[in-house]
Chain A
Amino acid sequence: MHELSVAQALVEQVEDLASQHGATGVYLIRVRIGPLAGIEPELLAVAFPLAAAGTRAEQARLDLVMAPVRVRCQTCSAEGEAQPNNLVCGACGDWRTRIVSGDEMILETVELDIPEPIVS
């Protein structure tokens, strides 16, 4: 299950962000995943608490946003939805397309608990 490696990498990245911003905790982690990223969202959700245990991300809610698969045709320039195992252009039927959405695995946003600086 490589989702555990991915969850560990995610927690490490969030910990770095928390340190850079002087945060004491993390409320929310929002990740955007496409079906062609090679990650099973359910497995990532299972692996996350294991990776986050004992870190500032321990209490964080993991919000997984699914990206749709979309392609742009290099032949007719049409853009449209596609299936993960069928990226053929829906307009002209050519297979020479580019993915515009659906293969990403991105940490989009974190919500941090940053204590108010004490002003005296």
Chain B
Amino acid sequence: MCDTCGCNVTPGNAKFAYQPVVPGSTAVSVLQGLLKKNDDQAAHNRAHFDRRGILAINLMSAPGSGKTALLEATIAALKGQFKIAVIEGDLETENDAERIRAQGVAAHQIVTGSACHLDAHMIHDALHHMDLADLDLLFIENVGNLVCPASFDLGQHLNIVLLSVTEGDDKPAKYPVMFRGADAVLLTKTDLLAVLDDFDPDKAERHIRNLANPAPILRLSARKGEGMMAWLVWLQGQLIEQRKRVEAGATQRPASQPEGARLHTETA
């Protein structure tokens, strides 16, 4: 089997091999993830982060769930202790980056135009415009969208998905790909729970468990501060984990099954 084209027929996937239907054609078994180039670039980005001991975190949610507000409150609490930078993804504007800069940390805005998600190449380009020296935490605020960003690995170590209590508590059931891939889910704007009686946080949790996702589910209000402490403690725990991994020469991909793509392309 030729090495360069990615042919790798094993006993496990040989059942997919088949006879060509067009006479005279040559069938080539490939068995490669469709987004292989993005995934390779993402692994390269992750190596950049690991070499510098940076923990990279991808924030995803519907538009308006409170990603930027969470970043503002997180930066205000941690900037004395850690060096933080932010990459902002947005369809049109620089507004979010300006909100972050007002907190006194560096922010690079990626204006995606028609692209409804960030990809690993955009992140690599952004890194060239940023000072990564001594950085502890890099947050990436993805484009507000519960569908497309879920498919593109950026090189982050963790996916955080936000669900605000002004949305439906059944959103995890409607967007299973996104919520299955979360390393932590944040139920945000909990200060509004008192005035909204149709969002049941326990129901939201059950929908997330039904996706076989064991991720911690934290309830918080960035505006009022309730629940922020647990989030900040979790975050600092993750930073310690990342430092241990870096010391051990290991890395971590964000949630979904770690063996994911490999399971489907290589196993027996």
Shortest Cβ distance from A108 into B: residue: B16
Contact B31 A108 (CB under 8 A): yes
Interface size class of B (residues with CB under 8 A): 35 or more
Q: Measured between alpha carbons, how far is A110 from B21 in the docked complex, in Å? A: 11
Chain A residues lying within 8 Å of B20, measured Cβ to Cβ, are 27, 111
Which residue numbers of A lie inside 8 Å of B, CB to CB?
A: 1-2, 5-6, 9-10, 12-13, 16-17, 20-21, 23, 27-28, 31-32, 36-39, 71, 84-88, 95-101, 103-114
A86 nearest CB neighbor, chain B only: B210
Chain A neighbourhood of B210, CB < 8 A: 85-88, 95
Q: Which of B2, B17, B35, B212 contacts A71 (CB 8 A)?
A: B212
Q: What residues on B are CB-neighbors of A88 within 8 Å?
A: 210, 212
Given that A38-B177, A85-B173, A96-B212 are known contacts, is A106 also in contact with B265, CB under 8 Å in the complex? Answer: yes
Q: Are A9 and B18 interface neighbours, CB within 8 A?
A: no
B→A interface (CB under 8 Å)? 2, 4-6, 16-18, 20-22, 24-38, 115-117, 119, 147-148, 150-152, 172-174, 176-178, 180, 207, 209-212, 214, 256-257, 260-261, 263-265
Q: Which A residues are in CB contact (< 8 Å) with B18? A: 109
A109 near B32 (CB under 8 angstroms)?
A: no
Find out whether the CB atom of A104 lies under 8 angstroms from the CB atom of B5.
no
Which residues of B sit under 8 angstroms from A97, Cβ to Cβ? 212
B147 with A38: CB separation less than 8 A: yes
By a CB distance below 8 angstroms, the chain A residues around B6 are 17
Known contacts A37-B177, A71-B212, A20 near B34 by CB under 8 Å = no
B16 A105 Cβ-Cβ under 8 A: no
Q: Tell me the smallest distance from the CB of A119 to a CB of chain B, in Å.
A: 16
Other contacts beyond A6-B35, A104-B33, A111-B25: 18, CB < 8 A: A2-B147, A12-B37, A17-B28, A36-B180, A38-B177, A38-B178, A71-B212, A84-B177, A85-B211, A86-B210, A99-B212, A105-B151, A106-B261, A107-B32, A108-B30, A108-B31, A111-B28, A112-B27
Distance in angstroms between the alpha carbons of A61 and B24 in the assembled complex: 16
